[in-house]
Amino acid sequence: MEKREELYSGKAKSVYTTDDPKRMVLLFRDDTSAFDGVKVDQLDRKGMVNNLFNAFIMQKLEEAGIATHFEKVLSSQESLVKRLDMMPVECVVRNIAAGSICKRLGVEEGIDLNPPTFEFFLKNDELHDPMINEFHIRSFGWAEPQHVETMKELTFKVNDVLKQLFLDAGLLLVDYKLEFGLYDGQVVLGDEFTPDGCRLWDKETRKKLDKDRFRQGLGGVVEAYEEVGHRLGIKFD
């Protein structure tokens, strides 16, 4: 597999084409950012940790029957993935109130949500990823109605799988975002699943072990990611 030109560079990842038009290389960089790029930094080992963390989670989801774009790890910071026709929609599930929902609704952080909430956001950095609903998605043609239903079903299936996986490791899956695309007409999970895109708390102490450590200046960001990985049985060295 030959890695070719850079196709896209985001806040913490870069995507490269390959000699196979259906495959891409996903590079996890050491960059990190928050508040739409207002706060940025480089954290040693972060790219490696996220790459291996993502590979582990994607493989667990595949084992549970959830199709993902992940194919294999290529190096410490690179993975081979399927090239998807991405839908510009983020699917968010919240099991515990935290982050923006607390600000929007004036609710206290830490409230258990039963049943979990589900929200759609438009993936658009310039507009700060505004919250949208199914009518917006259909009216503007961001995704077909049947694909919207499949995204919702898969997002909750991911919740069932990962809530238990993390709980067994003494962790609470607070919330997370997922992105989907089409591969040969099938809705497939794309992007990543790492502590950059979810919230994870220690079950007993509710210590934050995710990107909120960077957002809130708590320090020990990569160390927290590694702690989560070690609890799951991921080896980073």
Tens of pLDDT, residue by residue over 52-72, are: 999 999 999 999 999 999 999
User: Quick one: tokens of 218?
Assistant: 């708590």
- pLDDT over 90 (residue 113): yes
- pLDDT over 70 (residue 121): yes
- pLDDT over 70 (residue 123): yes
The listed CATH number (3.30.200.20, 3.40.50.2020, 3.40.50.450, 3.40.50.2300) that belongs to domain 3-82: 3.30.200.20
Mean pLDDT of 150-171: 98
171-183 and 112-122 strand pairing? unpaired
Domain with CATH 3.30.200.20 in the chain: 3-82
The residue among 2 and 150 whose pLDDT is bigger is: 150
**CA neighbor of 174 nearest in space, from 201, 195, 153, 148:** 201
Under the banding of pLDDT at 50, 70 and 90, the label for residue 37 is low
* Per-residue confidence (pLDDT) for residue 226, from 0 to 100: 98
- The rounded distance, in Å, linking the Cα atoms of 134 and 148 is 8
Under the banding of pLDDT at 50, 70 and 90, the label for residue 137 is very high
Averaged pLDDT of the chain: 96
Mean pLDDT of 135-161: 98
* Per-residue confidence (pLDDT) for residue 237, from 0 to 100: 76
Under the banding of pLDDT at 50, 70 and 90, the label for residue 33 is confident
Q: Give this prediction's pTM.
A: 0.96
* Per-residue confidence (pLDDT) for residue 1, from 0 to 100: 75
Burial tier of 43 (Cβ tally within 10 Å: 0-12, 13-18, 19+): middle
Domain with CATH 3.30.470.20 in the chain: 85-218
Mean pLDDT of 28-49: 89
Burial tier of 101 (Cβ tally within 10 Å: 0-12, 13-18, 19+): buried
At residue 207, the 3 state secondary structure works out as: coil
Domain 85-218 homologous superfamily, CATH: ATP-grasp fold, B domain (3.30.470.20)
